[in-house]
Amino acid sequence: MRKEDITNCGKHKQVIIARSEQIKMKYEFLLKRNIHMYNHLIICTYGQNRYEAICESAMTKEETIIFWPDDFGLPIEEKEKMINDLIEWSKTQGFKCNICQGKRC
């Protein structure tokens, strides 16, 4: 994972959507917005496996959502692939993402 993938999520939306269609993602994501004020529920699925975590909107000029991948509780060997898929998915959704280390709470 490159630093620029994290800090530049969401820019050049049309180009990125075309690029994302060529990338096969292992994980699928669903974002349930505003479950409590500026908090959202992100659901990550892979086959029969389902992982959930809370993410937050950042108070920035452009829409940005902050994610804490450790909150999903994924096996360590799956974490990097899930983060890469999360970055690619967020690009197709039109928002920037900020990936934080550790747990949210």
- pLDDT digit string, tens, across residues 37-58: 999 999 999 999 999 999 999 9
- pLDDT digit string, tens, across residues 20-42: 445 578 999 999 999 999 999 99
Nearest partner of 25 among 103, 91, 99, 96, judged by Cα: 91
Describe the chain by its helix, strand, coil percentages, rounded to 5. Answer: 35, 35, 30
Determine the Cα–Cα distance for residues 104 and 68; give it in Å rounded to an integer.
6
The neighbouring-strand residues paired with 31 are 42
